[in-house]
Structure 1
Amino acid sequence: MASKQSTVASFVEAAPPGELSNVVADIKALAPSEVQSLEPAFKKYNEEQYTTVKLPGSSETVLVSAYNSLGNGRYFDSASQTSFEVDHASQKASSPQQHPTDSQHADLIRSLQKSFSAAASEHFPSSTVGIFPAESHSAVALLLVANKYSPQNFWNGRWRSTYILNPSSNSLTGTIKVDVHYYEDGNVRMSTSKKVELSSGGGSAEAVVREIAKAENKFQEELNRAFTTLAEGSFKGLRRQLPVTRQRVEWEKIGGYRLGQDIGGGRTK
Structure 2
Amino acid sequence: MASMSEEEQERIETVSKFLLQSPPGEINDVLNDVRVLIGDDESLETGILPALTQYNLEQLTVAEVPGAGHSSIVSIRARIPGEEDRFLDPRSKTSFLYNHLTMEISDPQTHEPNEASEPFRSALETSTLQYLSSHFNDGTASVFANSDETSFIIQIVANKYNPVNFWSGRWRSEYTVDLDARKVTGQILVNVHYYEQGNVQLETKHRASIVLPTSISASSPGPSAKKVLALIADQEGAYQESLGDTYHEMGDKAFKGLRRALPLTRQKLDWDKVLGYKLSAELSSSKAIFGGSGGSS
Q: Same fold (TM over 0.5)?
A: yes
* Candidates 234, 237, 251, aligned match of 1:217: 237
Q: Is 1:231 paired with 2:251?
A: yes
- Return the structure number with greater helix share: 2
Q: Distance in 1 between matches of 2:141 and 2:150?
A: 20
Q: Which residue number corresponds to residue 167 of structure 1?
A: 179
Change beyond 3 A, Cα 1:209–1:182: same
1:247 counterpart letter in structure 2: K
Identity over aligned pairs, percent: 33
Q: Which residue number corresponds to residue 271 of structure 2?
A: 250
Aligned residue runs from structure 1 range 26-45, under 5 A: 26-33=33-40, 34-36=43-45, 37-45=47-55
1:126 counterpart letter in structure 2: D
Q: Which residue number corresponds to residue 209 of structure 2?
A: 197
1:133 counterpart letter in structure 2: A
The answer on whether the counterparts of 2:169 and 2:193 sit within 8 Å (CA) in structure 1 is: yes
Over 4 Å off, 4+ runs: 135-138, 251-256
Q: Residue 69 of structure 1: SS of its match in structure 2?
A: coil
Cα deviation code 1:141-177 (max 9, x no counterpart): 1000011111111000000001001122222101001
Q: Distance in 2 between matches of 1:156 and 1:212?
A: 25
Aligned residue runs from structure 1 range 1-269, under 5 A: 3-33=10-40, 34-36=43-45, 37-70=47-80, 71-102=83-114, 104-134=116-146, 137-201=149-213, 202-203=215-216, 204-245=224-265, 246-248=267-269, 250=271, 257=278
Q: Distance in 2 between matches of 1:104 and 1:255?
A: 82
What is the alpha-carbon root mean square deviation over aligned residues?
2.3
Q: Distance in 1 between matches of 2:104 and 2:32?
A: 18
Cα deviation, residue 121, structure 1: 1.0
Structure (1 or 2) with the larger CA radius of gyration: 2
Length, aligned pairs only: 259
Q: Residue 75 of structure 1: SS of its match in structure 2?
A: strand
1:35 counterpart letter in structure 2: L
The answer on whether the counterparts of 1:199 and 1:211 sit within 8 Å (CA) in structure 2 is: no
1:6 counterpart letter in structure 2: E
Q: Distance in 2 between matches of 1:32 and 1:195?
A: 42
Change beyond 3 A, Cα 1:122–1:52: same
Q: Distance in 2 between matches of 1:255 and 1:213?
A: 59
Runs of at least 5 residues in structure 2 that lack an aligned partner in the other structure: 1-8, 217-223, 283-297
Change beyond 3 A, Cα 1:183–1:256: farther
Q: Distance in 1 between matches of 2:193 and 2:273?
A: 32
Cα deviation, residue 58, structure 1: 4.2
